[in-house]
Amino acid sequence: MKDKHPWGSCLVLAVLAVGCFAGGPLFFRDAGFMDLTHASCPPGRAFWFGTDTMGRDIFSMIWAGGSVSLFVGLTAALISTAASVLYGTASGLAPRRLDALLMRLTDILLSVPGLLFTVLLQAAWGRESPAGLALSIGLTNWMSIARVVRTQVRQIQGSEYVTAARCMGAGFLRILVRHLAPNFLPSILFMVVMNIRGAIAAEATLSFMGLGLPPETVSWGSMLALSERALLSGEWWTLLFPGAFLIAALLSVSDLGYALERRMMRMDRQI
């Protein structure tokens, strides 16, 4: 039986991406504008998703905040993938003693809780910005992928084409790009997609806890943080709409990742 393609998840992600990154001119209200005369308005014709306690339009905030959350997720995944590929390849090509030392260092880093590690890096940077948060998250989520890359490199480093490239004087980067990466990239694609989901969730969690982005930076996580107090007064819309968008994005990315994993398993069985 053929696996179903995640068309629905791809459509949801496409709508979110287009709306967040290219839909700014369509939303006539400034996401950061505070209109205290319309504070805590419920959803209606004037404000489709209502307003928060500071009078900001939640509909506009969701799309503006989504661009920040998606930027953090994609950038963090890119950073973690690059770090894991370089580290895992270096470990796989290194002599056995150095390889063992590098893997023990990876085990030590894996033992540190990811969110705690991210908070420590945030404190070290001393700057709260989407780029800084993406860098912190990316540098704390590369270890698992690096172990997979190292295993794959260990299996193929003795291949004839890799040996021939070394004999011809090819450098580390050339061997990685031309000979090693095409072989292990399909194996880590699922983990890369899941890293995007994890980075988006990490941003939302840290911002909700007040440890991520500053309050003036609108993101899905910061919107959920501000909605905690609003729930006590029955303003349900301040939590429902940003939470629904966040959950839709996480579920869609997860569905896409699992579809890639199923496809890779099916290809391995055919081989």
What DSSP string runs through 190-223?
Answer: HHHHHHHHHHHHHHHHHHHTTSSS-TTS--HHHH
pLDDT of residue 127 exceeding 50 = yes
**Residues above pLDDT 90, as percent of the chain:** 14
d(CA 57, CA 148): 45
pLDDT of residue 1 exceeding 50 = no
Domain segments of the chain: what residues?
A: 51-270
In what helix (H) or strand (E) does residue 31 lie, and over which residues does it extend? Answer: none
**pLDDT band, residue 78 (cuts 50/70/90):** very high
pLDDT of residue 258 exceeding 60 = yes
**pLDDT band, residue 131 (cuts 50/70/90):** confident
Topology given in CATH for the domain delimited by 51-270: MetI-like fold (1.10.3720)
pLDDT of residue 228 exceeding 70 = no
Q: What is the pTM of this model?
A: 0.85
d(CA 13, CA 189): 17
pLDDT of residue 231 exceeding 80 = no
- How many residues make up the chain in this entry? 271
**pLDDT band, residue 23 (cuts 50/70/90):** low
Residue 156 token pair: 């193929």
